[in-house]
């Protein structure tokens, strides 16, 4: 699917995915042949070429000096920035690239600041990039997961209850089109009209609620529904502002 998208001319500089994709050597080799960078999560027992074929959780985790860890946000959440400690190590089972920097393989480590739990990413960089870029790519997975969650909750992506591929394909396509419609409508609304002070921008969830309340099951008093929508957005804005303010005051 990724190859078909690239061959169709879809612009892509990076590929990211969970451990299922990170454990696929064929996918990694294909992306490297196309000079597409990737940041793929791998399991803690994934073998990496760090001083020999070593599980990711062993030598690399202990080889990172304390000064090498960097606190970087991998994206904004509802309750503030997603801060983790990050570090990366050059994997030594590939020959040096001609320019000395690009075409390198890395093992990126993510450490939870509270629990110390580690997560690992196998990375390929066709050109020199800083650690913050790899972290940003890894953080895009949250956006993808949120899109899947929205598709299930708002558009019934997981409510097909079918047994044949064709019917599943049709249902999934219809759900994805519905979610794309909500996403484009929300983005267009924010582009045309500035977000009022004290409110959050219109979200896919809020638009779906308004469609259901005003069009699918028209209410007698549409203004009442719109006032409730403003009330929800105002309180969501206050909650978000409080979370970010509290995070800013923490050491």
- Mean pLDDT over residues 129-137, rounded? 90
Predicted confidence band at 58 (pLDDT cuts at 50, 70, 90)?
Answer: low
pLDDT tens figures, 201-229 = 788 888 888 877 776 665 566 676 777 77
- Is residue 176 pLDDT above 50, yes or no? yes
- Is residue 101 pLDDT above 50, yes or no? no
- Provide the H-helix boundaries in the chain: 2-7, 19-22, 25-33, 59-63, 131-155, 165-192, 204-211, 222-249
Token readout for 162 is 């079918």
Which pLDDT does position 205 carry in this prediction?
A: 84
Token readout for 87 is 């570090």
Token readout for 185 is 């409508």
- Mean pLDDT over residues 174-182, rounded? 91
- Is residue 164 pLDDT above 80, yes or no? yes
**How many CB atoms neighbour CB 25 within 10 A?**
9
Token readout for 103 is 């075409």
The more confident residue out of 176 and 212 is 176
Token readout for 171 is 């249902």
- Is residue 59 pLDDT above 70, yes or no? no
CA distances from 136 to 72, 166, 190, 233, 243 (A): 9, 36, 24, 28, 22
- Mean pLDDT over residues 9-21, rounded? 88
Which pLDDT does position 53 carry in this prediction?
A: 52
Token readout for 1 is 């699917």
Q: Whose CA is closest to 39, among 86, 79, 95, 97? A: 86
Strand, helix or coil for residue 166: helix
State the Cα–Cα distance between residues 24 and 120, nearest whole angstrom: 15
What whole-number percentage of the chain has pLDDT above 70? 85
Which pLDDT does position 218 carry in this prediction?
A: 59
Which pLDDT does position 39 carry in this prediction?
A: 93
Which pLDDT does position 174 carry in this prediction?
A: 92
- Is residue 94 pLDDT above 50, yes or no? no
- Where in the chain are the domains? 2-141, 151-249
- Mean pLDDT over residues 36-46, rounded? 88
Which pLDDT does position 210 carry in this prediction?
A: 80
CA distances from 54 to 36, 46, 63 (A): 25, 8, 12
Predicted confidence band at 110 (pLDDT cuts at 50, 70, 90)?
Answer: very high
pTM given for the model? 0.71
| Average pLDDT over all residues of the chain | 81
What whole-number percentage of the chain has pLDDT above 90? 16
Report angle CA 33, 38, 52 to the nearest 5 degrees. 80
């Amino acid at each position: 699917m990724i190859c078909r998208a690239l061959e169709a001319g879809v612009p892509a500089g990076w590929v990211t995915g969970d451990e299922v994709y990170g454990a696929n050597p064929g996918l990694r080799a294909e992306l490297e042949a196309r000079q597409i960078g990737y940041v793929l999560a791998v399991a803690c027992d994934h073998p990496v070429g760090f001083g020999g074929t070593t599980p990711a959780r062993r030598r690399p985790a202990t080889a990172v000096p304390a000064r090498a860890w960097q606190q970087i946000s991998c994206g904004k959440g509802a309750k503030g920035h997603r801060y983790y400690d990050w570090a990366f190590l050059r994997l030594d089972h590939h020959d040096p690239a001609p320019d000395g920097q690009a075409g390198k393989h890395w093992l990126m480590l993510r450490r939870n600041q509270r629990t110390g739990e580690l997560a690992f990413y196998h990375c390929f960089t066709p050109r020199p990039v800083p650690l913050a870029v790899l972290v940003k790519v890894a953080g895009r997975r949250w956006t993808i997961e949120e899109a899947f969650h929205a598709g299930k909750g708002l558009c019934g992506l997981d409510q097909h209850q079918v047994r044949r591929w064709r019917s599943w394909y049709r249902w999934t396509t219809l759900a994805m089109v519905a979610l794309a419609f909500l996403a484009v409508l929300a983005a267009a609304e924010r582009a045309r009209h500035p977000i009022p002070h004290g409110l959050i921008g219109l979200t896919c969830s809020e638009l779906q609620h308004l469609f259901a309340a005003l069009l699918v099951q028209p209410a007698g008093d549409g203004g009442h529904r719109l006032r409730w929508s403003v009330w929800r957005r105002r309180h969501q804005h206050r909650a978000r502002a409080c979370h970010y303010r509290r995070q800013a005051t923490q050491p």
